Structure 1
């Protein structure tokens, strides 16, 4: 299973790389990036839970 980084996170990281550290925009983009990463990890965690529940249900049915 390969981890795929979403395009929106990559785009924010590329923009962040061009900005000067400790500038106002740098701080703004780090907050935006943190929010996107948080939602992405939560989405992945929910998918994993759903997959685990489906696996348990299929084992019960057999």
Structure 2
């Protein structure tokens, strides 16, 4: 992605308190997707602070 210029970065994070957590019919919100604010755009560089036990999707435009 070197040489590409972005004007914004947005993200979603899928996370839970426990590494082996999973959703069930009884507890469907144990693992969920929420807004991610750990990515910062500074000139031509994107800095990301990733939380433990998570999956992050970034959308850069």
TM-score bucket (shorter structure): under 0.3
Question: Which one has a bigger Cα radius of gyration?
Answer: 1
- Tell which has more relative contact order, 1 or 2 (C-alpha 8 A, sep 6+): 2
TM norm structure 1: 0.28
TM norm structure 2: 0.28
